[in-house]
Each structure stands twice: as C-alpha cells, then as structure tokens.
C-alpha cells in the first residue's frame, strides 16, 4: 500500500514537470557540529523592597517617603581552562528601579556612582592551579570564614567584592593555607540618593566605586584553617596594612576562631586584637562565645560578645556586618565597638521554608549608640524557582522611639 502510494506521488511529480525530467536524488547534508562551549553561564534576578518608620517620630511603614526598592540583574560567566590551564570569570551587575521611585518608594538599596540605576563589573578574575595550590587574581568575592575583616556580604541586592590576589594551598593534610593581598574594594552599604537614606547612621554604599583600601600598598592577610581533630575547626587570620585598611598607619589584626560540633550540640569561641601605630590609637580587644543545639526540629543558639572602647572596634572593610557571633540583621553599629552584647536565636522548618527569630541586647558605653535592643523575625523559602525572604526588625535605642524595618526580597537563579 505504501509502496503504491509512493510510486504514484513520484509519477505525478514527473507528469506535472513535463514527464521528461529525471527525478533528482535528495542531497543529504551532514549536520553542523557546534563545539561544546567551555564557558558556564548563570545568573540571577533580584527584586528588593525595604520600608521603615524613619524618622521614628513621624515616619510610617509602607509610605513612599520611608521606603526603598531595587530590581537587579546579574550574569556570571566562568571558564576553568581558557588556555594553558588559565581560567577566567566575570560577573556583571545591573540595577534598575522599575519606575517604583515615582510611585511606591523614594530611595534605593544600592547605587551606581550616585545614580539610581546603572551597572558595574562585580567580578573579573583569572585562575590557575598547580597541584594543591590555586591562584585567583582580580576582582572577586571573599568568604567571611577565611577573611573575617574583609569579606563579601549577601544581605543587600548584590555582594560587595574586592580587587585581590588570593592563593590557597592544601598540601598539609586537613589544613588550608590562605594568602590574600587586598588592594581595593567597593562599599556594600545603604545607598544615599537625593539626600534620602533608607536607614540612617550606617555607611553609604556605591557599588561601582572601588577605593576602600589603600591602592598603593594594599593589605596582606594570612589565614590557616585546620580540621585535624574530628568535628573541630580551628581558624586563625593575620592582617597587615602598611598604610591603611580603614584608617591609621601600619595597621595589624589578629583573629582566631574555634568551632566544635558533637552530634546535636555545638560550641564556638572567637577573639582577637586590632592594633595601629598611629598616635592616640586605642587597640581593639574583642572576644565572643556561642553555644547551640538542635532538638525536635529546632535549631537554637545563644551568643555573647565583648568589644572594648577603641578607635576602630570590630569592622568589615567593604561591608556593614562584622564576623561576631552576635551579628543580627541590623545591629551593625550596636555590637561593633565599646559594648557587651548577647543574642538568643532559633529557627525551624515551617510551611516549606525556614522560620526564624532572634533577640539581642547591647550594653553600650558610647553616648551616640546607647543601649540597643533588637528583635528579628524572618521567613525564607525556596519555591516557584526562586528564593524569598520576608523579614521584620524592631530595634530600640536608649529612650528613643522604636525603629521598625520590613524587608522583602525575591531572588531567582537561572
């Protein structure tokens, strides 16, 4: 049946063509082979909204004058072997407002050279590996676990990054050796556009401006992390800056952290000192402890930190948040200098996500900060292809009216 039908079609075609044209053999072309790309592409989009009751005497939540928002788009490209084992990576960040500043908000969370929208190169680096040693040179992120005083923070729309040379070696069993030369960074703070800042009292940030570290000599860091003892992680870091990392001259920092986990229980301790050769510089001496446990599906911990009255306190170049265990959503200034702070926190799985709460209190001796009490409530969930955060902060400083913050963030990775 099929053979008869096929012959009929061929015959009909020949008759329509005059009957004297030989049938043309079909040409079979080889498929075009597209070489596989060695580049891995990824990215994410972010919608960020935050509202406060600032000024606390007259401001109101969800009002245009006291709200800020951003829409962000990020594209990452990484190739681990461009040529001769040399890899490359680049991250491009873009900010926009979706025209919300004309309707719902008056500010933004991050800025580009003082503008409410724009873009910058967040990362641009080269990599190379030699046995147990890897080298990363250029603009990059730095983790808090290995660089406590100069690390990237993910609380804002995009992370702050550093111009640095990073060398990591794992030749010694259960030991990671890290050397970094950090010579530049941007500032991950709250944007200041048109005189409006979403939250007052904190460092303003401009993500496309890199200049938080002295460019001439930079800052050297050495970190050693050891895990030879089961369940125990020991980390020590040393920084030295001939000119400055934040202020002053010949600044040096030594910081140590020990964390032990046994079954459902964990305990950690941290501490160190910030010194400077400048006249009149008061050394920073700080320490902290944390005890945690997991039971009945609940993860809980209690933490305490103490920072003496000093010139710099505990800080993070390029960011807002410290490496102290008592770091909360918004107590950056409250627990970084001349204070004693304690925090209790817990979280649990709920409704397909994680629900958490924390309460902290800082006893401050400074006249500007005074005593600070903060309560945080948050919910995070992975759903519909994205990650979502709903957070609320209530903070009371001294006798002033309470500051309230509502933060809603949606991140979609692709």
pLDDT above 70 coverage of the chain, percent: 85
pTM, two decimal places: 0.85
Distance CA 343, CA 130 (A): 44
The domains found in the chain, sorted by start residue, are 44-413 (2.40.160.10)
**Is pLDDT of 272 > 70?**
yes
* Tokens 């265990």, located at residue: 325
Element (H, E) at 48: strand 40-52
- Please compute the mean of the pLDDT values over residues 158-175 and round it to a whole number: 96
CA distance 27 to 30: 10
Q: Which residue has the higher pLDDT, 271 or 246?
A: 271
Among 25-39, 45-59, 278-292, 321-335, the range scoring the smallest mean pLDDT is 25-39
Which 3 state secondary structure label does DSSP give 102? helix
* Residue 21 scores a pLDDT above 60: no
Helix (H) / strand (E) containing 293? strand 284-295
In this prediction, residue 332 carries a pLDDT of 82
Count of other CB atoms within 10 angstroms of residue 123: 21
Q: What pLDDT does residue 398 have?
A: 83
Cβ-in-10-Å burial (0-12, 13-18, 19+) of 339 comes to buried
Which pLDDT value is given to residue 56? 81
Average pLDDT over residues 362-383: 88
Local structure of 364: helix, strand or coil: strand
- For residue range 203-227, what is the model confidence (pLDDT) as tens digits? 667 888 888 776 678 899 999 999 9
pLDDT of the residue at 245:
54
**Residue 316 contacts residue 310 (beta carbons within 8 Å):** no
Residue 100 pLDDT: 84
Rounded mean pLDDT, 116-124:
92
Measured over the CA atoms of residue 156, residue 158, residue 159 and residue 164, the dihedral's sign is negative
Burial 140-163 (b: 16+ CB within 10 A, else e): bbbebbbbbbbbbbebbbbbbbbb
Three-class SS of 69-92: EEEEEEEEEEEEEEECCEEEEEEE
Query: Do 101 and 70 meet the contact criterion of CB atoms below 8 Å apart?
Result: no
What is the model's pLDDT at position 137?
97
In order of 58, 341, 386, the CA distances from 396 in angstroms are 16, 14, 33
For residue 248, the model assigns a pLDDT of 53
CA separation for the pair 414, 16 (Å, rounded): 54
HSE toward the beta carbon, residue 411, CA cutoff 13 A: 17
Where are any strands of DSSP class E within 232-277? 232-241, 251-262, 265-275
The mean pLDDT of the chain is 86
Backbone angles phi, psi at 336, to 5 degrees: -100, -15
Measure Cα distances from 362 to 104, 135, 156, 269, 375 in Å: 34, 41, 24, 19, 12
Beta bridge pairs of residue 342 = 304, 361
3-state secondary structure of 370: coil
Tokens of 195: 């005189």
């Amino acid at each position: 049946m099929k053979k008869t039908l096929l012959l009929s079609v061929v015959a009909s075609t020949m008759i329509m063509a005059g009957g004297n044209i030989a049938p043309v053999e079909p040409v079979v072309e080889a498929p075009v082979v597209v070489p596989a790309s060695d580049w891995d592409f990824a990215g994410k989009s972010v919608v960020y909204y935050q509202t406060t009751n600032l000024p606390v005497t007259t401001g109101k939540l969800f009002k245009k004058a006291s709200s800020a928002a951003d829409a962000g788009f990020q594209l990452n490209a990484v190739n681990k072997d461009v040529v001769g084992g040399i890899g490359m990576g680049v991250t491009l960040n873009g900010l926009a407002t979706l025209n919300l500043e004309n309707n719902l908000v008056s500010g933004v969370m991050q800025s580009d050279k003082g503008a409410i929208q724009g873009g910058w190169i967040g990362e641009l680096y080269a990599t190379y590996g030699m046995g147990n040693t890897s080298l990363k040179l250029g603009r990059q992120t730095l983790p808090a676990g290995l660089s406590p005083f100069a690390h990237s923070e993910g609380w804002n729309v995009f992370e702050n990054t550093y111009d640095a040379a990073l060398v990591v070696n794992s030749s010694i069993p259960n030991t990671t050796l890290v050397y970094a030369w950090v010579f530049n960074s941007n500032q991950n703070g709250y944007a200041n556009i048109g005189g409006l800042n979403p939250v007052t009292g904190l460092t303003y940030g401009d993500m496309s401006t890199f200049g938080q570290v002295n460019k001439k000599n930079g800052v050297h860091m050495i970190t050693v992390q050891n895990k030879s003892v089961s369940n125990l992680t020991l980390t020590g870091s040393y920084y030295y800056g001939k000119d400055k990392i934040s202020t002053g001259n010949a600044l040096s920092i030594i910081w140590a952290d020990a964390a032990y986990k046994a079954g459902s229980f964990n305990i950690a301790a941290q501490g160190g000192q910030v010194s400077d050769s400048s006249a009149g510089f008061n050394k920073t001496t700080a320490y902290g402890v944390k005890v945690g446990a997991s039971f009945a599906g609940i993860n809980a911990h209690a933490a305490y930190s103490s920072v003496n009255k000093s010139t710099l306190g505990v800080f993070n170049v390029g960011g807002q948040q410290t490496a102290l265990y008592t770091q909360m959503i918004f107590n950056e200034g409250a627990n970084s200098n001349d204070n004693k702070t304690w925090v209790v926190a817990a979280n649990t799985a709920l409704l397909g996500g994680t629900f958490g709460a924390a309460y902290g209190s800082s006893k401050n001796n400074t006249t500007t900060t005074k005593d600070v009490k903060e309560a945080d409530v948050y919910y995070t969930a992975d759903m519909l292809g994205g990650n979502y955060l709903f957070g609320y902060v209530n903070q009371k400083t001294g006798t002033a009216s309470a500051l309230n913050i509502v933060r809603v963030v949606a991140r979609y990775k692709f």
